[in-house]
Amino acid sequence: MVHLVMAVATLIASYLIVAEALATPRGLPFNPLAGCGKSLPKGQALGSVTNVSIASSGLQRSYLVFVPPKYNAFIPTPLILSYHGGNRDALSQLLLDQLTIPEFNTASMVVYPQGIAEKWQGVPNVTVNDVQFTTDILNQIESLYCINPSRITATGKSDGAGFCNILACDPVLSKRMAALAPVSGAYYVDTSPCSASTVALPCSAGRTDVPMLAFHGGNDTTIPYLGGDRKEECLPTIPHFIQDWAVRDGLGDKNMTTPIATDTVKYSFGRGLQTGLVELFYESNIGHDWPSTEPNSDNTAVGHHVANYNATPIILEFFASHPLSILESLEEVL
C-alpha cells in the first residue's frame, strides 16, 4: 500500500514539475495542473452541481459542473464533458446520462456545457464557435480543480454527439481528449447529393489513435441508422461512420461482432493492444434514445421503450480503459 501511495505521489509530482517548468516559459494559456491544491470555488461542495458562467468568443455562456463525492484537491481527477441534444439543455442532459448518480460515478468530474439556442457547432446553419467554447471551459476547469490531463473525455446525445465527433476531428482538441462516446449521433456532412454509405467524412484529427465508442438504435427515425438527407446536408450511415474511424485509427475495416443482449450487438475494431479502440453498440429496435434499462426522458416518449442494456456504465468503462499516455497528455504543454 505504501508503495502504491508513493507511486501516485511520484506521478502527480512529475505532472506538476513538467507543467510548471514547460508551460509558463512558452506562454501557454493554461497549466494542466494549475488547480491542484486549491479549495473548491465558493458555494460548491462534494457531490454538488453548480451553474457557472464563462465568457467565450465575446458571448456570455454557461455550463453545469458536478464535483464528484470522492474529489480530492491533491489527486488529479478524471473529467467528462457531456453535451446535450438539439432543443434540449445542460440540465436535461445531466438527468439523462446518469453520470452524476453514485451508482455509476463517484470519482469523475462532469461538465455539462450549454449550447447557444440549444444547438452545437456542426449542425447546419449553426455558426457559433463551440470548439473555442470547449477550450475555454477546459482552461477554466483546469485552473480551478485538480484535473488529470490524461483522462479528459467527452460524450453527448444527438447533436451533442455529433459535436463530440467535431472535437475528435479537431487538430488541437483531439490531442487533449482521451476518448469520446457519442450516443445517437448526428454526423452532418455539408455535401449533396447524399451518398450515405460512401460520403467522404472530413476530419483533421491531430493523432491517429483516437478511441471512439458510438451507440445507435436501428429504429432511430430522427437520425436514421442508414443515414440520408437531413437539413439539406448528408448524414452518413452509422456503419460507414464507425468503419471510417477504424480505418483512420489504422485498425482496418474488419470488425468482430459480439452479442451483448437481446437484439443488441457490439462491433469492435482492432487487435492486440488496440482491441476495442473503436466500437459501435447497436440495438435493432430502439429509437433516438440514450440506451438505458431504466425509464428516462428518451425511452418513455410515445413509441419508445427501454433498451436491453445501459450505455452509461459501458461509457465509463471505455473512458477508464483509454487514457492518454503521459507523453500524449503533455504534448500540448511541450
In the beta sheet, which residues pair with residue 119?
A: 116
Spatial contact of 167 and 177, defined as CB atoms under 8 Å apart: yes
Compute φ and ψ for 201, nearest 5 degrees.
-105, 105
Question: And the C-alpha cell for 303?
Answer: 413509441
Beta-carbon contacts of residue 44 (< 8 Å; ≥ 6 apart): 50, 65, 67
Residue-range domain boundaries for the chain: 36-329
CB count within 10 Å of CB 107 equals 14
Residue 132, C-alpha cell as written in the block: 473555442
Per-residue pLDDT of the chain (334 residues; tens, 9 = 90+): 434 443 444 355 444 434 443 343 334 455 779 999 999 999 999 999 999 999 999 999 999 999 999 999 999 999 999 999 999 999 999 999 999 999 999 999 999 999 999 999 999 999 999 999 999 999 999 999 999 999 999 999 999 999 999 999 999 999 999 999 999 999 999 999 999 999 999 999 999 999 999 999 999 999 999 999 999 999 999 999 999 999 999 999 999 999 999 999 999 999 999 999 999 999 999 999 999 999 999 999 999 999 999 999 999 999 999 999 765 555 554 4
Whether 84 and 90 have beta carbons less than 8 Å apart is answered as yes
Find the length of the chain.
334
Residues 6+ away with beta carbon under 8 Å from 100: 49, 66, 94, 110
Q: Is 276 left (phi over 0), alpha (psi -120 to 50) or beta?
A: left
**Does the predicted model carry a pTM greater than 0.75?**
yes
- Cα(8)–Cα(36) distance, integer angstroms: 14
CA nearest 163: which of 147, 192, 184? 184
What is the DSSP secondary-structure string of 251-296? --S--EEEEEETTEEEEEE--GGGTTSEEEEEETT--SS---SS--
Query: How many whole angstroms separate alpha carbon 99 and alpha carbon 77?
Result: 15
For residue 202, cis peptide bond before it (omega within 30 degrees of 0): no
For the domain spanning 36-329, the CATH number is 3.40.50.1820
